[in-house]
Each structure stands twice: as structure tokens, then as C-alpha cells.
Amino acid sequence: MSDAPEANRGLVTPVRVVIALCLVAPFVAMLWVGSYAKTDPELAGIPFFYWYQMLWVLISTLLTMVAYKLWQRDQRARASQKGGASE
């Protein structure tokens, strides 16, 4: 019965899928250059190519913060389940 916690170690949960999507989205957005390799529309005289990338710096920061908070919550929940199951 001691193998049960180890079996759940690699468990894919909806929260972990959201965490993965939050961390992968900026890479996909930046590697798909064809989607933003243009000059129009301009924002305050800045070509789309540049302001789109700078926007993703902010979006990436927010998504990383969300992923971190979700990970912390997931780890706390797993720790409380582990502690509650052993008592």
C-alpha cells in the first residue's frame, strides 16, 4: 500500500494541464513568427512586429505568475491530502 503515493506522482490533473498551457503559450506565440512579421497596425508609431513582442513580455509575466500560484495551490492540496491520509 505504500506504493499508492508514488503512483500518483506523475498524475496529470486539469490544474497541471492549465499550468503547462500557461508556460507553453508564450513560446508558441514567439516561435510562430509568421503571425506577427508585419508592420501594420502601428501603436503610437511603433510597428506591430515590435509592440506585439513587448506585449508578450507582459503576458508571459502574468501567465508565469498564474502558473506559479496554481502550482503552489496544487502542492499545498497534495501535502494536505498526504498528511490527512497518513493519520
Q: Which one, of 66, 73, 35, lies nearest residue 52 by Cα?
A: 35
pTM for the structure as a whole: 0.77
Residue 55: inside a domain: yes
DSSP state of 43: B
Q: Is residue 2 part of a domain?
A: no
Indicate the number of domains in the chain: 1
Alpha-carbon Rg for the chain in angstroms: 20
Residue 5 counted as domain residue: no
Residue 68 domain-assigned? yes
Reduced to 3 states (helix: H, G, I; strand: E, B; else coil), residue 4 is: helix
**Counting every residue, how long is the chain?**
87
From first to last of its 87 residues, the chain has per-residue pLDDT tens of 455 555 556 788 899 999 999 999 999 999 999 999 999 999 999 999 999 999 999 999 999 999 999 999 999 988 888 775 544
For 54, phi then psi, to 5°, come to -70, -35
